[in-house]
Structure 1
Amino acid sequence: MLATFITLCAACGDPASTTEGSSGDDGSEAAGSSSVGSTAASATGVTTTAGGDGSTGTGADDGSSGAASNGSSDDGSSDASSSGGVIDDAPLELVVIGASTAAGKNLDQPQYGGAPGNKPFATLYAEQLAIDRPGSTVVNLAVPGTTSFDGMPTGSQNPPGYAAPDPMHNITAALAESPDMVLVAYHLGAGASTEQVIANLTAIQDAADAAGVPVWFSTPLPRFATADPAQLAQIPEMRDAVLTTFGDHALDFFAALVGDDGYADATLFLTDENHPNQAGHQALYQVLLDADLPAAL
């Protein structure tokens, strides 16, 4: 499986990787081709080893899955939280599936206003999760240009004209990692209707529910006024549908990146006018923090 593993260690370097020939979140070809899978060494000792698609993921130094184990504190009291037995500081694993924003496309490309060493929101979240819960991991299976059709469970029959689900980067692959939680960050569906995209996301949710794994869904991002008119018309509709359908398990990425005029906030996007810059990824990371995913476990 192509993935990038963010590894916790005492002192680490900063390997990075980019990929070529990727496309935008809506499935169309977009400017540039790089996906960021790197993170600078920090006080937490987090580094990234990037896979072939530049996506990011994490694993513990000892090769363990980071699964929590039961125990008690020094005073003999229980460490388990009252919300379901999850130890408050036990390591957790999050798996991310999605498209180019989740993969950090062009974030390290100076020609689009990026810079080497920039970190996508998944990497930022991995670093914070490692501080809050040492040993935690984030496996990022996002691939630029993919859509909710790619993320469908293996064996699903997609409509004519759409490729079969991607067995290396779909919800089935995510669940094979035995995660504690999953984040799905697809956006527009390469011309598919809002109803079809929501049906796809619901099928992804059903697969996660069957495995007993909570899953969250991001809304689409805002676009610039120069974007395709059909996309501009569909984005608010799809955002509302995601928020309504998934409720507390919806992450409003749109609100984090929209300007006062209702279009993409240019200060939060790269000059490719399609993907968030470092400030934009910081805003998306804040959405994850505010959602407090571990509290739902």
Structure 2
Amino acid sequence: MKITLLYLGIILTLNFPSSAQNKRICLVGSSTSYGYGVPADSSYAGRIKNFYKTAGVLDTLYNIAVPGIDCYIGMPTSFVPPPGRNAPNPQFNITRAIHFDPKPDVIIVNFPSNNYQWMPYAEIIFCLQTMKDSANAAGIACYITTTQPRDDFNPAGGERQRLKDLELLIKQNFGNWALNFWEDIVQDPPIIIKPQFALGDNVHLNPAGHAMLANIVLQKNILFAEIGNRWTGVKNEDWADAANWITNKVPVPTEAVVIPSGRPHYPIIQADVAIKKLTCEDGATLTVGSNHVVQIISDGE
């Protein structure tokens, strides 16, 4: 099913499967996803909800974002934070998001700046990756937004530059699963919110800024991306060992498979395998034993 709509002056043509009904989205994050300072229907959350409802493909948008929280608060309930860090809050975290009933098809994780002026980069990426892995393990697609500019961050102390650095790191780490909430919003130099998108409090976006974010989400066509199965390689090199996969299941012919970079072990296949799609990120390897075949099964889409 193809739907073409004029949205905020942009013609969006999205291809939806004919069975695309009763989809659900969940937002996890802080004030941007909460919609701080703008009417509900002018927030990016309200805009994507209205768009997908109009298209007839969305049942529910769960929004558990709350102003002022950071990425540690969004971590799984079982996570024990290091000293001096916030503990996960089960009212607002990824654990709650994945346990909604009916569960969401897509989760957007949006922690764009709170406490990033001092928090180590590695900790931030670790938190975001953990939340994404938790969603993927539950069979839920998960997108991670980049940082967003803040005028109240100190330029002399390098705080604004940290947000810029993190924007790049998030894009590098999450690839196609990153939502770029930086590029169209920032005025650089001096690394501030573009005046036409600023709410006026040096932190948040106005309705025009939220409209820009909504366009970014909609153009990603988030409801119909392939989730697939992701290699972790945490145990060994055996493709057939379920412990090496994020879903704790060996891929089946209907699944897309991603072999990411930076794994402790890379897969070796010692039997014939059939999967829907295979993606090897830069630096990742896949070894197929002699006399064995990897069959890529197209669904005709």
C-alpha change, 1:135 and 1:246, in structure 2 (3 Å) is closer
Aligned equivalent of 2:139: 212
Question: Is 1:263 matched with 2:192?
Answer: yes
Ranges in structure 2 where 5+ consecutive residues have no aligned partner: 1-14, 227-301
Matches of 1:246 and 1:276, distance apart in 2 = 24
Larger proportion of strand: 2
Does the CA contact (< 8 Å) of 2:75 and 2:94 recur in 1? Answer: yes
Does the CA contact (< 8 Å) of 2:107 and 2:141 recur in 1? Answer: yes
TM-score by length of 2: 0.64
Divergent runs of 4+, >4 A: none
Question: Is 1:228 matched with 2:159?
Answer: no
Structure 1 residue 88: deviation in Å? 4.3
Question: Is 1:272 matched with 2:204?
Answer: no
C-alpha change, 1:233 and 1:165, in structure 2 (3 Å) is same
Does the CA contact (< 8 Å) of 1:92 and 1:133 recur in 2? Answer: no
Matches of 1:281 and 1:134, distance apart in 2 = 21
Matches of 2:136 and 2:20, distance apart in 1 = 24
Matches of 1:210 and 1:134, distance apart in 2 = 24
1:30-179 matches, within 5 Å, as 87-108=18-39, 119-177=42-100, 178-179=103-104
Structure 1 residue 134: deviation in Å? 4.7
Shifted more, 181-190 versus 121-130: the winner is: 181-190
Matches of 1:133 and 1:293, distance apart in 2 = 15
- Give CA deviations for 1:119-175 in whole Å, capped at 9, x if unaligned: 210011001111112552111100001111001011101111122101011000000
Question: Is 1:295 matched with 2:224?
Answer: yes
Secondary structure at the aligned position of 2:192 is classed as coil
Secondary structure at the aligned position of 2:98 is classed as helix
Does the CA contact (< 8 Å) of 2:132 and 2:144 recur in 1? Answer: no
Secondary structure at the aligned position of 1:216 is classed as strand
Matches of 2:87 and 2:150, distance apart in 1 = 28
Aligned equivalent of 1:187: 112
Does the CA contact (< 8 Å) of 2:53 and 2:59 recur in 1? Answer: yes
Aligned equivalent of 1:57: none
Does the CA contact (< 8 Å) of 2:29 and 2:65 recur in 1? Answer: yes
Matches of 1:146 and 1:242, distance apart in 2 = 19
Taking CA–CA contacts closer than 8 Å with sequence separation of 6 or more, which of the two structures ends up with the larger relative contact order? 1
Structure 1 residue 227: deviation in Å? 2.6
1:9-20 matches, within 5 Å, as none
Matches of 2:187 and 2:224, distance apart in 1 = 30
Secondary structure at the aligned position of 2:143 is classed as strand
TM-score by length of 1: 0.65
Aligned equivalent of 1:61: none
Matches of 1:130 and 1:107, distance apart in 2 = 20
Secondary structure at the aligned position of 1:255 is classed as coil
Matches of 2:223 and 2:86, distance apart in 1 = 34
Does the CA contact (< 8 Å) of 1:130 and 1:136 recur in 2? Answer: yes
Structure 1 residue 118: deviation in Å? 5.4
Structure 1 residue 257: deviation in Å? 0.7
Matches of 1:129 and 1:162, distance apart in 2 = 37
Matches of 1:282 and 1:288, distance apart in 2 = 10
Aligned residues: 205
